[in-house]
Every structure is written in structure tokens, then in C-alpha cells.
Amino acid sequence: MINIENFLAEKNIDYEYDVSAEKLSTYKGGGIVKLVISPNDHNINESLAIVRDFPHYFLGNGSNTLIDDYGFDGVVVCTKNLNTIVRDNNEFTVGAGTLIPYLNAYLERLNLSGLERLSGIPASLGGACVMNAGAYGIEICEFIKEITCYDLATQRELTIGAKDIAFSYRSSGDSFKNAFIKSVKLTGFTQGYDASLSRALREKRRNSQPNKPSLGSVFKSTTLPAGYLIDKCGLKGTRAKCAQISPTHANFIVNNGGGSASDYLTLLAIARDTVKRRFGITLTPEIKILTNRKEIWEFTTQ
Ligand SMILES: Cc1cc2nc3c(=O)[nH]c(=O)nc-3n(C[C@H](O)[C@H](O)[C@H](O)COP(=O)(O)OP(=O)(O)OC[C@H]3O[C@@H](n4cnc5c(N)ncnc54)[C@H](O)[C@@H]3O)c2cc1C
């Protein structure tokens, strides 16, 4: 098998060994990732061709990713160096690692409206597409014309039109199950950026969401918002060591300092099981878990 270290040095690919979850996940707790590589536009395809031989995970801004306390003994491909934006009239080809708040600010400078409602989501564009991130009545899929990705199975680059992607509420189905999003062609922006709307919604977010490290919503909403159901169970403020169901928003689990992934998962289980007992509703986690341990996957999909 290829010596990965020689390969990374030869291809000039940024890499780091033994990286703490504090640097990779916005929850700022969890274990160590064995190897994180951050390719750029020039060496991304070669990186992915190598990575497919190892356990791997694709990471955007880590704002929806919990890293197991036992860490991940594989390769994380981080998109932070894939952040070019190319404009062609009203279409923009945007690197997967570009952060949504940055993209929103970029469009604001061009006086183009569209992303104001999404401007407070701390996501990379690639992560936002996989999760079909949304807020205040809109979803990122509404602005996607096509996505260029690298399919690990066939080792080929392909471009998929938005209508061929299985977008639904906080999901892109299996469209990127084994494919890495490189860039996204966005369209549909209109003249006249609405700065006051963007400001008002960011303020609303500040007032209704905790300002401690978290992964955003733990569970997807059902017919009723998950936060409402958890709140009705009286669970706001419940603690598991250093993690807590936020007293501000019951669908957020926050890290009060030193919180581990197992603290997080303890609270996730308490919320899920209590809501099931009280309302008979099964909550589905929205968050993703990076782990080597099969039982952890099973735990969240029970
Ligand atoms: C404070 C806070 C507020 C939030 N508010 C919202 C909100 O209003 N609306 C909302 O929808 N979400 C919200 N979130 C959740 C989160 O920001 C979204 O789920 C976001 O889409 C995740 O993006 P990311 O880049 O951080 O993804 P990551 O956590 O890095 O990854 C998420 C998933 O995408 C995959 N992935 C990432 N990049 C790629 C790629 N290039 N190719 C293939 N797969 C990839 C990962 O493997 C993983 O499965 C919030 C989170 C926080 C912390």
C-alpha cells in the first residue's frame, strides 16, 4: 500500500496528525482524529483517489459533526482550502469549503439578494448541501443549479443537476453517500440585498439560541418542532457532566467547558427516550457522528 506521508509531501497537500475534536467540531469536545488532510483545487482528485483505501470522512466546518471520544482512526478530508468563487453573470461556482456567512457577505457586496435567511448558519457550502441546510423558510437547495463531485467508487468527477439530487428536509438522500462535493454552482440571486432582514434574523438567532459551543439542532423536527417536545418533557437545563440541554433552546446540547461526546450522547438518549415515552414520537438525530465504533452508529439510529 502507498506510503501516505510521502504522497502528501510530494503532492504538497496540507496535513496534520492527531488532531483534537476541539479544532474540528463546533461542539469543541470529543476525541482525536488520526490524520486530517486539507487538499486544494490542484490536488483534491489525487487526494481522494488515495483516501478511498482508508476509513475516511469528509468534513466541512464541523458544525453538525460529533467526534467520538475514542476518536477516529482514519483520514478526515477537510474542505477548508477549497474556497474559490468564480462568477459568470448571475451564476457562481463556489468551492465546497466556502463558509455560508462569507458567501452571504460576498453577495451583499454585490448587492445580490438570496442568502440573507441562511446567513447565520455556521456551515461550509459542501456541508450545507449534504444537509440541505435551511432557516426561516428557505433551504440551500433553492439556489443550487448543479454540484460537481468526485465519486470515490468510480474515481470519476461528475456534475449532478439539482433536479437529480434527492433533496428533502435536512437531507440530500444518498446522493453524496460515497462522493465528495468539490464545488457548487449557485444561481437565482436577485438585485437588492436585504441588509435589514439579514440583521434582524441574526439578532433573532442570538436571542433564541445559546451562545455556547454546540452542533445546532440535535434532532430533526417532526410534525412538531423537536425543541418544543423536549421542552414539554421538562428537560431544558438537564446536565450530563459538562454538557447540558440548553436552557435557551431545548433542541441544542451545549458544551459548558470540558464536555465530551459521551456527555452529549447521554443527553441525546435522555431526550429521545423521554419524548418517545411521553408522546410516542421517535426523534431522528440531525447530527452526524464520526466514529470507528459500530455500536455508536447503531445507538443513534435506534
Ligand atoms: C450554532 C449553530 C446553528 C445552526 N443553525 C442551523 C440552521 O439554522 N439550519 C440548519 O440547517 N443547520 C443549522 N446548523 C447545523 C449545521 O450548521 C448544518 O447542518 C450545516 O449544513 C453543516 O455544515 P458543515 O460544513 O459544518 O458540515 P459538517 O459538520 O462538516 O458535515 C456535515 C455532513 O456533511 C458531510 N460533508 C461535509 N462536506 C462535504 C463535502 N464537501 N462532500 C461530501 N460530504 C460532505 C459530512 O461528511 C457530514 O456528513 C447549526 C449549527 C450550529 C452549531
DSSP 100-120: HHHHHHHHHHTTEES-GGGTT
Of 172, 183, 217, 246, the catalytic one is 217
For residue 53, pLDDT over 90 is answered with no
Please identify, by atom number, the ligand 1 atom nearest to the C-alpha of residue 26.
Answer: 53
Catalytic residue status for 25:
no
What is the pLDDT at residue 302?
Answer: 45
In this prediction the pTM is 0.97
Q: Which cell numbers hold the place of 56?
A: 475516511
Q: State the Cα–Cα distance between residues 17 and 145, nearest whole angstrom.
A: 36
Neighbours of 170 (CB within 10 A): 17
Q: Is residue 294 part of a domain?
A: yes
Kindly state whether residues 73 and 89 are assigned to the same domain.
no
The packing angle between helices 100-109 and 195-208, to 10°, is: 160
Kindly state whether residues 219 and 277 are assigned to the same domain.
yes
Please identify, by atom number, the ligand 1 atom nearest to the C-alpha of residue 215.
Answer: 53
Q: Is residue 205 part of a domain?
A: no
For residue 301, pLDDT over 80 is answered with no
Kindly state whether residues 161 and 236 are assigned to the same domain.
no
Q: Which cell numbers hold the place of 141?
A: 437547495
Sequence-separated (6 or more) residues with CB below 8 Å from residue 77: 37, 38, 39, 47, 48, 51, 56, 57, 58, 59, 180
Neighbours of 41 (CB within 10 A): 13
- pLDDT by residue (tens digit) across 275-292? 999 999 999 999 999 999
Neighbours of 7 (CB within 10 A): 16
Domain that holds residue 40: 4-78
Q: Which cell numbers hold the place of 38?
A: 486539507
Ligand 1 pocket residue status of 181, Cβ below 6 Å: yes
Q: Whose CA is nearest to atom 19 of ligand 1?
A: 64
- pLDDT by residue (tens digit) across 120-162? 999 999 999 999 999 999 999 999 999 999 999 999 999 999 9
Q: Which cell numbers hold the place of 234?
A: 421538562
Domain count, the chain: 3
Kindly state whether residues 95 and 180 are assigned to the same domain.
yes
Residue among 25, 63, 170 to mutate when testing ligand 1 (max atoms within 8 A of CB) = 63
Q: Is residue 201 part of a domain?
A: no
Q: Which cell numbers hold the place of 1?
A: 500500500
